[in-house]
Amino acid sequence: MFLFADDAKLIASLNSASENLALQKDLDNLLSWCQSWKLSLNTSKCAYMNVSLSSSTNNNYTIGNDTIKTVTQQKDLGILISDSLSWSVHIKEICSKAYRSLYLIRRTIPCTSPINIKKSLYLSLVRSQLTYCSQLWFPNKIQDIILSERVQRRATKYILNNYNISYKLRLIHLNILPLMYYQLLDLLFLLNVLRIRLIHLMYLITSLFILGPQDLHLIVN
């Protein structure tokens, strides 16, 4: 089980009928624990998603007297996850939201406004939607890359109020990277996280030899 704030996700690998029954028993135990601690579960927001190569797999689970609805898509912390594990649906949704935000900016801020103001609004309100958690869902299909890049193409025309020069020149003038380059930044982010963890691990090992286990316990805590 994974917990975040008031959200909970229960994940299980099911290969037999006995494992299906075991999952239902886990749900019953969860309900019993919540009732013991006077906690309530909003069953209307609960959903079951089956990720499988077999399309015939269909299991029904219950929480108390309520049957958990079966879905093919579910939003989790702002990310739309599908049972096919494809990110195309999520990318289409965020592009649609980004277009609406860009349209709102264009209606509110005239094209003749200063470039730095329009650029700041785009970066904070539009591109932030296109790059949120991109380490997880970054597009690997050409059609998805083109779809997301098209939003920035349109935005750069509005920011510069210039519809004649090429997309490359607009990016250079605004000092903005293409969205597809964020894959490189995501890789750098991953390497940086691994490097920090490695440094922290080396620090703990060094402390173990210098200070001893009793002092290290104080540092970790």
Q: Express each pLDDT in 126-174 by its tens digit.
A: 999 998 988 888 888 889 989 999 999 999 999 999 999 999 999 999 9
pLDDT band at 203 (very low <50, low <70, confident <90, very high): low
pLDDT band at 16 (very low <50, low <70, confident <90, very high): confident
Residue 156 domain boundaries: 84-176
pLDDT band at 58 (very low <50, low <70, confident <90, very high): low
Neighbours of 144 (CB within 10 A): 19
Q: Is there a single domain that holds both residue 170 and residue 90? A: yes
Q: Is there a single domain that holds both residue 194 and residue 169? A: no
Q: Is there a single domain that holds both residue 41 and residue 106? A: no
pLDDT of residue 23: 87
Nearest alpha-carbon partner for 160 in 111, 110, 106: 111
Domain annotation covers residue 191: yes
124 vs 41, residue with greater confidence: 124
pLDDT of residue 138: 82
Q: Is there a single domain that holds both residue 89 and residue 172? A: yes
Q: Is there a single domain that holds both residue 42 and residue 97? A: no
Q: Is there a single domain that holds both residue 158 and residue 103? A: yes
Mean pLDDT to the nearest integer, 66-89: 89
- Mapped onto helix, strand or coil, the DSSP state of residue 4 is strand
Q: Is there a single domain that holds both residue 136 and residue 192? A: no
C-alpha–C-alpha distance, residues 201 and 221, integer Å: 15
Give the chain's domain count. Answer: 3
Q: Is there a single domain that holds both residue 158 and residue 199? A: no
Determine the straight-line distance between the first and last CA of the chain, rounded to whole angstroms. 25
Q: Is there a single domain that holds both residue 133 and residue 55? A: no
What does the mean pLDDT of the chain come to? 83
Domain boundary among 71, 104, 124: 71
Domain annotation covers residue 77: no
pLDDT of residue 149: 93
Q: Is there a single domain that holds both residue 157 and residue 89? A: yes
Domain annotation covers residue 201: yes
pLDDT band at 55 (very low <50, low <70, confident <90, very high): low
Q: Is there a single domain that holds both residue 165 and residue 213? A: no
Q: Is there a single domain that holds both residue 168 and residue 91? A: yes
pTM for the predicted model, two decimal places: 0.74
